[in-house]
Amino acid sequence: MEPLKIGIVGLGTVGGGVVKLLEKNKNLICQRAGRDILITAVCAHSKDKDRGFDVNVYEWFDNPLDLVKHENVDVVLELVGGADGIAYDLIKEAISQKKPIITANKALLATHGYEIAEIADKANVPVFYEAAVAGGIPIVKTIREGLAGNGIKEIYGILNGTSNYILSEMTKTKRAFDDVLKDAQEKGYAEADPTFDIDGTDAAHKLAILSTIVFRTKPNLHNIYTKGISEIKAKDIDFAKTLGYEIKLIAKAFSSGDTLGQSVTPCLIPQSHPLSSINDVLNAVLFEGDFVKYSLSVGYGAGEGPTASAVVADVIDSALGIYRPVFGVNTAELKDAKRVAESENMCRFYMRLPVLDKPGVIAEVASILKDEDVSIESMLQHGHDPGQSVSVVMTTHETAAANIYNAIEKISTLRFMTSEPCLIQIEDLTS
Amino acid sequence: MEPLKIGIVGLGTVGGGVVKLLEKNKNLICQRAGRDILITAVCAHSKDKDRGFDVNVYEWFDNPLDLVKHENVDVVLELVGGADGIAYDLIKEAISQKKPIITANKALLATHGYEIAEIADKANVPVFYEAAVAGGIPIVKTIREGLAGNGIKEIYGILNGTSNYILSEMTKTKRAFDDVLKDAQEKGYAEADPTFDIDGTDAAHKLAILSTIVFRTKPNLHNIYTKGISEIKAKDIDFAKTLGYEIKLIAKAFSSGDTLGQSVTPCLIPQSHPLSSINDVLNAVLFEGDFVKYSLSVGYGAGEGPTASAVVADVIDSALGIYRPVFGVNTAELKDAKRVAESENMCRFYMRLPVLDKPGVIAEVASILKDEDVSIESMLQHGHDPGQSVSVVMTTHETAAANIYNAIEKISTLRFMTSEPCLIQIEDLTS
């Protein structure tokens, strides 16, 4: 059989990892692909950068669109990233050239996934994207193929390694967020601009893709309630522990009738739950299917090795000529999902109120909660220091999110508040 | 596109589950398959048995080979089981008819897998068998496809739900093996004849299949050192706990040069290891790839729902016309693996010696261990009851298995032994 000729656009961490993996495990990979796999063309910003391998053995392109069109390229690896710009252009060009695409670009799929899928499905061109979600966990294959027959009500997990590392480190060392973030950047676990990782955007991109496959709905980032971890303090992690919880950034999607609830938000989860022990830069995805029941997958979500592993799995699939619609079903079957209104979202909450330690404080807070129909489950005051600032921690019974937001707004204006209150959802995850 | 017409041989727990799943999630499944899926023919022992669905809507065959040959059958589901006999015959017939096969038959693949793969690969007929190993975990897809680019040194896990349930229950309730087994049979977690589950054979079948895919070696049951759980006593679980371990039936394969070590055996594993918290009928598989690093999958390994889920995933793949060699690479690439000699296997051991509580006992035991070059790591005597039988528990440093077997044989003949000694491997699993 003819060798498969691949062109790689983007030779950063991911692209570089793919070149190294294709070299190191060439024999194994070609056996599984049933044919030889050749990198024939590459394209990146700078040809001269030291990447730990020799780019001169491949044909170099300055313009990615030229690479896509080149006759010596059967399959295009888009490893540039970014929701728009060159990644978007070259994927569309590859589809029009009927060349299979392999991408790690979650931002693009979460943003333009429907449009891309529509033209790719129409042209019968496969778009592979295992590397876009939790690279080290073959989760796209698992839900789009391995458990494809199952009706799934809920899927949730830890989808961002950087924020999971930061929360784990804060838990382990009791250091402050900023301090641990700096440390993570030095170790290469967080990027120079870590915004998307710590504000929940990266996890939301991934969740949008998983939701689309699982629930057969159009990807829609705007329907995901997204909150990051930068307001979490070491003391919140400590209080959570006292209450029997760990704090994790949880991405979650659940369907109920024709509505789809999707959120990425820090949560208190029970210490007994398997996700509570997923630490450092590990990712994990968990769901219940109507036939398979419980399913949990754990692995590294990012980094050169795991991401390259996912890209190369897709290279093998494309070498075997495997074709499936982008999101597992034809785009015509993807429905618009109604967002579950935030106000209807029922859950329990953790509140930390920094207040002056003086009589009457609890009474005022309790009165506001009563007015907003929020019922207190437990309360603890940390320390006793009359006239000084102390932390009052409360957990609520299940309540409409809108009510607690109203309450916390009123509470934050009370004159005895010494700084901003902290509000975190409690997720008593079902399995 | 034409509907896919499937014929099902075997309507027991698995076959029945498949019929139910194809009915319940028909819309979802056909969307993912890109075409309609019709059950056109069925075959089982008795037509009249109450199965919770109406078999009369499908064409009934008394002879499975007639079903295979029938023009209204595109794909054959072999859900009869058994290493030989009708399952073997009908799979070979289906291959000669160029009809894709979907099977849940681990015994057959572990025993005749190489022969089946050889003729199937030559004929370009796909054989799907996701349901053969840990049904609820799409582990075949994960290692054959999702992580296909990785070099893997070691794979291990809990592959038998029945024995895991028994060990978990013994741990939780401190009841005896026989008592818990009876209970498991009443609950439907163990079969009337539970031999293959509790003696390690079932897990060995599954391990043989996983090893073949991961290490590209011919499946060879005889190369798997297999030991069951029936000799484990509640007190061993208790002692293990005191030492910081849980007892699990661990299936493990590792390659080293041109040798392949494979074993299914009860092991003491550290309480801090993720597998130690996999309880009840759950299965789990863990391995390290050279690029993906750590990978862990957890789910239900058996039962109607999880197994049907795996079979239906294969039905969808076959509807999409997906083809891969049976074991991921052409059979010509599968090598004979040299078995790691038991005597060369280096590991630590737990020993429980039921002895008369009298002076000099430890000295005699220690002397035998010294002669066999076995070094003691720790020792504890449970209870003190002069002249009566007590348990002496020892753990060893790393030692050649052959030496400890020699030692235990000599020890068991000592006159102060009150019953058979118990020897269990300690596995300080690497990840």
User: Looking at chain A, how many residues does it have?
Assistant: 431
pLDDT, tens only, A13-26:
999 999 999 999 99
Q: Using DSSP, state whether A186 is helix, strand or coil.
A: helix
Whether residue A34 and residue B325 make contact (CB cut-off 8 A), yes or no, is yes
Burial of residue A405 (CB within 10 Å: 0-12, 13-18, 19+) is middle
Which amino acid, residue B187? K
Residue of A nearest to B315 (CA): A149
Distance from CA of A10 to the nearest CA of B (A): 19
Which residues neighbour A331 within 8 Å (Cβ) at sequence distance 6 or greater? A114, A117, A118, A121, A325
pLDDT for B302: 84
Whether residue B149 and residue A25 make contact (CB cut-off 8 A), yes or no, is yes
pLDDT in tens, chain B (431 residues): 899 999 999 999 999 999 999 999 999 999 999 999 999 999 999 998 999 899 999 999 999 999 999 999 999 999 999 999 999 999 999 999 999 999 999 999 999 999 999 999 999 999 999 999 999 999 999 999 999 999 999 999 999 999 999 999 999 999 999 999 999 999 888 888 999 999 999 999 999 999 999 999 999 999 999 999 999 999 999 999 999 999 999 999 999 888 999 999 999 999 989 999 999 999 999 999 999 999 999 999 888 999 999 999 999 999 999 999 999 999 999 999 888 877 778 899 999 999 999 989 999 999 999 999 999 999 998 778 888 999 999 999 999 999 999 999 999 999 999 999 999 999 988 65
> Which chain A residues are closer than 8 Å to B25 by Cβ?
149-151, 290-291
CA distance readout (Å), A139 to A58, A110, A134, A298, B367: 32, 16, 7, 10, 54
Burial annotation B20-50 (CB, 10 A radius, 16+ → b, else e): bbbeebeebbbbbbbeebbbbbbbbeeeeee
Q: Name the helix (H) or strand (E) containing B175.
A: none
By Cβ distance, the residue of A309, A323, A329 closest to B32 is A329
Q: Does A53 touch chain B (CB under 8 A)?
A: no
Q: Which residues sit opposite B103 in a β-bridge?
A: B78
Structure tokens at B10: 């075997």
Which residues neighbour A2 within 8 Å (Cβ) at sequence distance 6 or greater? A35
> Which chain A residues are closer than 8 Å to B320 by Cβ?
323-324
Structure tokens at A300: 């590294």
> Which chain B residues are closer than 8 Å to A35 by Cβ?
none
Identified catalytic residue from B206, B218, B248, B252: B206
By Cβ distance, the residue of A145, A316, A320 closest to B141 is A145
> Which chain A residues are closer than 8 Å to B135 by Cβ?
292
Residue of A nearest to B142 (CA): A138
The Cα–Cα gap between A299 and A278 comes to 9
List alpha helices for B320-428, DSSP H: 361-371, 401-412
The Cα–Cα gap between B18 and A291 comes to 10
pLDDT for A108: 98
Whether residue A136 and residue B282 make contact (CB cut-off 8 A), yes or no, is no
The Cα–Cα gap between B108 and B90 comes to 12
Q: Does B31 touch chain A (CB under 8 A)?
A: yes
Residue of B nearest to A273 (CA): B277
pLDDT for B247: 98
Say which DSSP state A25 is in: T
Whether residue A25 and residue B136 make contact (CB cut-off 8 A), yes or no, is no
The Cα–Cα gap between B85 and B22 comes to 27
Whether residue A149 and residue B315 make contact (CB cut-off 8 A), yes or no, is yes
Distance from CA of B306 to the nearest CA of A (A): 4
Q: Name the helix (H) or strand (E) containing B281.
A: none
Whether residue B25 and residue A150 make contact (CB cut-off 8 A), yes or no, is yes
Q: Tokens 């641990």, residue?
A: A180
B387-391, long-range: CB < 8 A, 24+ apart: B387/B356, B387/B357, B387/B358, B388/B356, B388/B357, B389/B354, B389/B355, B389/B356, B389/B357, B389/B418, B389/B419, B390/B354, B390/B355, B390/B356, B390/B357, B391/B235, B391/B239, B391/B352, B391/B353, B391/B354, B391/B355
**DSSP3 helix / strand / coil % (chain B, rounded to 5):** 40, 25, 35
Q: Which residues sit opposite B6 in a β-bridge?
A: B39, B75
Known active-site residue A69:
no
Query: B8, B204, B12: which is closest to B111 by C-alpha?
Result: B204
Whether residue B309 and residue A291 make contact (CB cut-off 8 A), yes or no, is yes
Tally C-beta pairs within 8 A across A and B. 187
Q: Contact at 8 Å (CB) between A51 and A11?
A: yes
Residue of A nearest to B282 (CA): A294
Q: Does A294 touch chain B (CB under 8 A)?
A: yes
Whether residue B294 and residue A315 make contact (CB cut-off 8 A), yes or no, is no
The Cα–Cα gap between A78 and A93 comes to 12
Question: Is the ipTM here above 0.90?
Answer: yes
Which amino acid, residue A27? N
Q: Does A430 have pLDDT greater than 90?
A: no
pLDDT, tens only, A336-374:
988 887 777 889 999 999 999 998 999 999 999 999 999
Which amino acid, residue A386? P
Q: Does A382 have pLDDT greater than 80?
A: no
Residues 345-384 of A with CB under 8 A from B: none
By Cβ distance, the residue of A291, A306, A316 closest to B148 is A316
Q: Tokens 């029922």, residue?
A: A346
> Which chain B residues are closer than 8 Å to A16 by Cβ?
none
Q: Are strands B4-9 and B75-78 parallel, antiparallel or unpaired?
A: parallel
> Which chain A residues are closer than 8 Å to B29 by Cβ?
148-149
Q: Name the helix (H) or strand (E) containing B3.
A: none
Mean pLDDT calculated for residue range A264-282: 95
Distance from CA of B251 to the nearest CA of A (A): 19
Query: A280, A296, A239: which is closest to A429 by C-alpha?
Result: A296
DSSP per position, B109-131: HHHHHHHHHHHHHHHT--EE-GG
Q: Using DSSP, state whether B303 is helix, strand or coil.
A: coil
Which amino acid, residue B310? A
Can you give the pTM of this predicted structure? 0.96
> Which chain A residues are closer than 8 Å to B298 by Cβ?
274, 294-298
**A139, A291, A307: best mutation site toward chain B, by most B Cβ within 10 Å?**
A291
* Domains and their CATH numbers in chain A: 4-132 (3.40.50.720), 139-300 (3.30.360.10), 343-426 (3.30.70.260)
pLDDT for B431: 55
**A145, A164, A294, A316: best mutation site toward chain B, by most B Cβ within 10 Å?**
A145
pLDDT for B108: 98
By Cβ distance, the residue of A24, A300, A330 closest to B292 is A300
Residues 8-27 of B with CB under 8 A from A: 17, 21-22, 24-25
CA distance readout (Å), A21 to B24, B63, B66, B287: 42, 50, 48, 18
The Cα–Cα gap between A303 and A313 comes to 16
CA distance readout (Å), A237 to A92, A183, A229, B389: 45, 19, 12, 50
Q: Does B138 touch chain A (CB under 8 A)?
A: yes
Query: B60, B64, B92: which is closest to B79 by C-alpha?
Result: B64
pLDDT for A431: 55
B84: number of Cβ within 10 Å? 11
Higher pLDDT, A382 or B332: B332
HEC string of A417-428?
ECCCCEEEEECC
Q: Which residues sit opposite B285 in a β-bridge?
A: B157, B297
Residues 163-222 of A with CB under 8 A from B: 216
The Cα–Cα gap between A298 and A307 comes to 14
Distance from CA of A350 to the nearest CA of B (A): 28
Whether residue B293 and residue A282 make contact (CB cut-off 8 A), yes or no, is no
Structure tokens at B174: 């401190």
A193: number of Cβ within 10 Å? 8
By Cβ distance, the residue of B17, B31, B298 closest to A333 is B31
Query: A176, A165, A153: which is closest to A289 by C-alpha?
Result: A153
